[in-house]
Every structure is written in structure tokens, then in C-alpha cells.
Structure 1
């Protein structure tokens, strides 16, 4: 399986008369793009903005991020979701790098929606604060969920994916600046010198533990609550097979952009055949009931053992209830003789003194921490807010609150905010973006 990604580095974005890409400048025909969005009758209002690193802009509530891409064979970027099914992970696609499409609610947010700052002390806390972004701010007629803490955000998320594909169409016929090629050989067909290397498998646990449909991560358009662990090629994930769901404390969620660029998987593929033999990805799910958790754990461990994995890298989307799936998988893999490195955030409380994961096991011996979701953060006001800042305090954002006896409200009268790390959009970056370091005090 061979996936080739042609990269076009976006140095600037502007609105103009025609959708185009020239000399690093992406030009978007605004009204044409908005007309495309408004084809969905659920969209009641929509506007496009351009924000760049250093702009004094705060985005809230952010619901989704997507990298603009198109495939040269004319097939859809997200099979089973925005287009008919196709095998992902093979072929040629073009990607607009250093930019993303961000989807922001015009009025209503929720548990799964977060904050992005494009400048100031908050900028470094999300990956998207460093990118040139096309921002869709929109609202829908989905009255049934506006005041719900947990929202499907279906119309808005689909609008973002559709917009990203449309924007990327301008580079379909162009020659990319650089190419990333990801090619794998079937496990039983690899050279002896590769098979003799220590073998590694990646175990990914995307958000999937809501039994109600429409909130969970999708795999080829299939709700992962109905999924059982299986071996997939890493190229499939990079090529749109996974689409982000709409439930998870925001700082720990994985956006579609994260799946498209998953740094951990890209690094494993780049080093494959040098120091280790990368066997592929065991894609698992997160469940609620203990028998469901145990079923998934048994299946993923069985597959790792059958593959002959010596080591596994395990990472989860989320914390709290999902920690039981995560820790259970690590402990079971270690018991089966597969050595594990885990990547996760922690929930150690505002004082840092609480238990880092809901459940722990002494078999966890190697962990990479991406930070404390309960860390208190204070950010100054911004000149411009795209969306509605009151959503941080009003709508059940996982890092904000309406009122606290000691701390007051998350949103102050001058526009400054006090919040937990929880409310940052994909802020803990457990897919491998994180640049946080550990310090001793």
C-alpha cells in the first residue's frame, strides 16, 4: 500500500475574485464558498474569516478542524462520510499545509467545544494557534440540541469537511513543493533483516463510548461504538478513513486534522525498517460497560500477540471513563509480554495532587504525559472574538463555568478569561504535537 501526499505550503490567505493558489498565497472566493455551505438547509447563518498567527483574535466555541485536501483520482477525501466508500491509504492526494479549516459556533457551544487564541499567552496552547486558518462561523436550525451540553454538531462539522475539500480543489492540477510517500509491505512479505528487528504496533483508542449515534468517531463513516478492534494500515488514517466525533472534553479530543496528520504514526512510518519493524495500527474503541471494555481489550491484545509485537505504543482520546479502557489495555499487553509506552494527559486537579488517571495499574512502567487537564489558565482579552465568548461559561464547556465562589466567572466583563486546560481546543495534543516538558520543583 502506497500513499503519496503532495504538499503545498500556505504562506498567506486572502479573499479574492477566484479560488486559486499561487506562490504560496491561497485565494478564496468568499461568496462561492458560502454558497456551497448554504446548500445544507440546516445552516441558518454562515460567515467566513481569515485568521493568522499573531492576530488578536479568540475563537470560541471551536467544534472541528480539517486540513484542506483533494485526491487526484477525483474520489472523495472522507470515504463513507462525505463521499461513497473507497479503500483509503493508497493513491495520490494534495494537501494545503500550514493551514486549516476551523468550524466555530456562532452562538452555541458545549462540552466538546473549545478555545483557540491566535496571539498572546494562549496561542502556544493549541496547535492551531500556529496556523493560517480559514474560519467558518455558522449556526443551524438544530434547535433540539442548542441548549444541550453534548451536541452532535452534525451540520457544522459536515460543512467544515465540505469546505475543506472545496478549497483544496484549487491545487489538484498543480505541482507540489514536496511529497511525503508512505509505503508499507505486507507483514509476511518483508525482508528478513526487517522482520528480525524489534516489532512495534501502535494502539489507538479514539472516542467512541456514547451509545447514542452521531457523537462518536467515524471509521469509513461507521460509528465506532459498533466497532471491534482490528488491524489497519497507518496510511488509512492519514487518508481520511477516520473523521472526528463530537464528544470528549475538548482539550483531549482528536480533530479530523489530527487524524490526517497523526505525528506519532508518521514518525513510526518514517523510522520503520531502521530501528524497528512497524507492524501497523490496532484501531480500538472506548466503551462504557465493563464487559464491553474487556471484550475490546482481549481482542486488541490477541491481535498484538498474533502479530508478534514486541512493543506497543498506546494512546487514548479522552480521560475519565476511557482511562479504564486505556489502563486495562496497557496492563493486559504487558501481561501478555508486549512492552508498552503510553501517551496520555492527566487529570490531577487544579492543585496537581489528585490521581493522574481514574484507574491505575503497577504494570504501567513507561508513560509520556502531555499535561494536566485541570490546570488553571488565565488569558487577557482579545480585540476580536469570532463566535460567542459567553459559550465558555454558559454552555457546559469542559473547562469553563458560570460562577465559582472563589474564582467568579470564567468570562470576565473586560473579556479576559479564567479556565481550565480542559477548554482548549485539542490542547493536550496526545497525537504527538505536544511540546510540553516535565520540570522538577
Structure 2
């Protein structure tokens, strides 16, 4: 399986009379793009904005991020979801680098939504403050969930996924500035020099806790709550096979942009044939019942052992209940003789003194921490708010609150905020972006 990603490095994004890309400038016909968004009858309100690094802009509630891309052979960008099923991870895909489509609620937020600051102290907490973002801000007629804390956000999120492909059509027939090539030989067909290297598998645990369908991450359009762990070519992950869901406190989330650009996969590819033999990805799950957790751990360990893995990296999208899946998976791999490193965030409380993971085991002795979800963050007012700032306090965002006996409300009268790291959009960056490190005292 050979994937070529043709990169177009976006220096600036502007609105104009037509949508095209030239000399690093992405020009978007705003009305044309909005007309496309309104093809979904459930979108009742929408606008398109552009925000760039350094802008004095706060976005909330942020629901999704997608890199604009187009497949050259005409296949849909997200097979099984935005179009017919097709094989992801093969052929040529063109990508507009340095930019994303951000999906933001005009009014209503929820447990799974987050905040992005494009400048100031808050900008350091999320990767997306570094990008030139095309912001789709809107509302839908999905009245049944507007005041629910947990939302599927179907119409708005899918509009963002489709818009990312719509915008990227402008580079479909252009010659990219750079081509990244990702290709792994079949596991049993690799040369002897590669086989001598330590064999490593990457175990991804995307969010799949909700038994009610429509909230979880999707794999080729299939709800991951209904899957058992499966072996995947890493190219599939990089090429649209998996889509972020609408569940999980937001700092723990992996957006679709994160899957498309997974830094851990890219680093494993870089080391393949040099320091390691990269076997591929085991896509696992995070479920609620103990038996489901144990079943997944057994599948992962058996698969890794059958593939001949010497080592594994396990990363979880979430915390709390999913910690049990995460630790069970690490322990099962260690018991199978596979040396394992875990990547996760922690929930150590606002004072940092609580147990970091719900479940612990002495075999999980190599953990990379990506920060504390409960860390308190205080940010000054921002000049412009896209969305609705009050959503942070009113709508049950995982890091915000309407009132606290000590701290008061998350949103202050002057527009300043106090919140937990929980509400930072994809802030812990467990996917591999995280710049956080440990402090010694």
C-alpha cells in the first residue's frame, strides 16, 4: 500500500471572487462555500471566517478540525462517511498544509466542545493556534440536543468534513510543492536487514465509549463502539479512514486533523528501516463494561504477538473510565512479552495531588504524560469571540462551569475566563504534538 500526500504550503488565506490557490495564497469564494454548506437542510445558520496566528480571537465552542484535502482519483475524502466506501491509504491525496477547517457552534456547546485562543497566554495550549484557520460557525435545527450536555453535532461536523474537501478541490489538478510518500512492505515480505531491527506496533485507542451510536469516532463510517481491535496499515489512518467523534472532554480529543497528520505514525515511519521495524497500527477501542475491556486487551496482545512485535506504543483518547482499557492493554502486552510504552494525559485534580489514572499497575512502568486535564487556566478577555463565550459556562463544557463556591463562574463579566484544561480544544495532544514536559521540585 503506497500513499502519496502532495503538499501545498499555505502562506495566507483570503476571501475573493473565486476559490483558487496560487503562490502560497489560498483564496476562497465565501458565498460559494456557504451555498455548499447550506445544501444540508439541517444547517439553519452559517458564516465563514478566517483567523490566523496572533489574531486577538477566542473561539468557543469548537467542535472539530479538519485538514482540507482532495483525492486525485475521485474517491471521497472520508470513505464510508462522506461518500461511498473505498480503500484509504493508496494513491495520491493533495493537502493544504498549515490550515484547517474549524467547526464552531454559533450558540450551543456541550461536554465534548472546547476553546481555542489564537494569541496570548491561551495560544500555547492548543496546536490549532498555529494554523491559518477557515472557521465554519453555525447552528442547526437539531432541537432535540441543543440543551443536552452531550451532543452528536452531526450536521455541523459533517458540514465541516465536506467543506474541507470542497475547498481543496482547487489544488486537485495542480503540481504539489512537496510529495510525502508512505509505504510499508507486507510484514512477511521485508528484507532481512529490516527484520533484524526491533519490531514495533502502534496501538491506538480512539474514543468509542458511547453505546448510543453517533457520538464515537468512526472507522470507514463504522461506529467504533461496535468493533473489536483490528490491524490496519498506518496509511489508512493518515488518509481519512478514521474520523473524530463528538464525545470526550475536549482536551483529550483527537480531531480528524490529528488523525490525518498523526505525528506518532509519521515518526515511526521515519525510523522504519533505520532503528525499528514498524509493523503497523492496531486500532483498538475504549468501552464501558469490564468484559469488553478485557476482550479488547486480549485481542491487542494476541495480534501484537502474532505479528512478532518486540515493542508497542499505546495511546488513549480520553481519561477516567478509559484508563482501565489503557492499563489493561499495557499489562496484556507486557504479559505477552511485548515491551510497552503508554502515552496519556492525567486527571490529578486542580491541586495535582490525586491519583493520575483511575487504574494503575506496576507493569505500566513507562508512561509519557501529556499533562493534567484538571489544571486551572485563567485567561484575560479577548478582543473578538467567535461562537458564544457563555457556552463555556452555560452548556456543560467539560472544563467550564456556571458557578463555583470559590472560583465563581467560568466566564467573568469583563470576558475573562477561568477554566480547567479539560476545555482546551485537543489541548493535551496525546496524538503526538504535545510540547509539555515534567517539572522537578
**Under a length normalisation based on structure 1, what TM-score does the superposition of the two structures give?**
1.00
- Is structure 2 residue 343 aligned with structure 1 residue 343? yes
Provide, for residues 219-262 of structure 1, a one-character-per-residue CA deviation record: whole Å limited to 9, x for no partner. 00000000110110000000000000000010000100000000
Q: Residue 179 of structure 1: CA displacement? A: 1.0
Q: Residue 110 of structure 1: CA displacement? A: 0.3
Provide, for residues 179-219 of structure 1, a one-character-per-residue CA deviation record: whole Å limited to 9, x for no partner. 11001100110001111111000000000010000000000
C-alpha separation in 2, matches of 1:61 and 1:90: 35
- Is structure 2 residue 279 aligned with structure 1 residue 279? yes
Q: How does 1:28-47 map to 2 (within 5 A)?
A: 28-47=28-47
SS at match of 1:302: helix
Partner of 2:82: 82
- Is structure 2 residue 363 aligned with structure 1 residue 366? no
Partner of 1:212: 212
Q: Residue 389 of structure 1: CA displacement? A: 0.5
C-alpha separation in 2, matches of 1:91 and 1:174: 16
Q: How does 1:122-141 map to 2 (within 5 A)?
A: 122-141=122-141
Unaligned residue ranges in structure 2 (runs of 5+): none
C-alpha separation in 2, matches of 1:255 and 1:324: 22
Q: How does 1:263-274 map to 2 (within 5 A)?
A: 263-274=263-274
SS at match of 1:175: coil
Partner of 1:24: 24
C-alpha separation in 1, matches of 2:72 and 2:270: 24
SS at match of 2:269: helix
- Is structure 2 residue 252 aligned with structure 1 residue 252? yes
C-alpha separation in 2, matches of 1:289 and 1:432: 28
Partner of 2:417: 417
C-alpha separation in 2, matches of 1:251 and 1:362: 27
C-alpha separation in 1, matches of 2:439 and 2:382: 30
Q: Residue 415 of structure 1: CA displacement? A: 0.4
Partner of 2:355: 355
C-alpha separation in 2, matches of 1:365 and 1:308: 22
C-alpha separation in 1, matches of 2:372 and 2:291: 29
Q: Residue 381 of structure 1: CA displacement? A: 0.6
Provide, for residues 375-417 of structure 1, a one-character-per-residue CA deviation record: whole Å limited to 9, x for no partner. 0000111111000000000011000000001100000001000
Partner of 1:387: 387
C-alpha separation in 2, matches of 1:21 and 1:380: 36
Unaligned residue ranges in structure 1 (runs of 5+): none
Partner of 2:120: 120
C-alpha separation in 1, matches of 2:284 and 2:364: 19
C-alpha separation in 2, matches of 1:131 and 1:165: 18
Q: Residue 341 of structure 1: CA displacement? A: 0.7
Q: Residue 74 of structure 1: CA displacement? A: 1.1
Partner of 1:233: 233
C-alpha separation in 2, matches of 1:293 and 1:111: 24
Partner of 2:62: 62
Partner of 1:71: 71
Moved over 6 A (4+): none
C-alpha separation in 2, matches of 1:360 and 1:406: 31
Partner of 2:330: 330
SS at match of 2:121: coil
- Is structure 2 residue 437 aligned with structure 1 residue 440? no
Q: Residue 76 of structure 1: CA displacement? A: 0.7
Residue correspondences, number: 441
SS at match of 2:286: coil
SS at match of 1:122: helix
Q: Residue 360 of structure 1: CA displacement? A: 0.3
Provide, for residues 337-391 of structure 1, a one-character-per-residue CA deviation record: whole Å limited to 9, x for no partner. 1101111000000110000000100001111111000000001111110000000
C-alpha separation in 2, matches of 1:171 and 1:36: 18
- Is structure 2 residue 51 aligned with structure 1 residue 51? yes
C-alpha separation in 2, matches of 1:416 and 1:98: 29
Q: Residue 268 of structure 1: CA displacement? A: 0.3
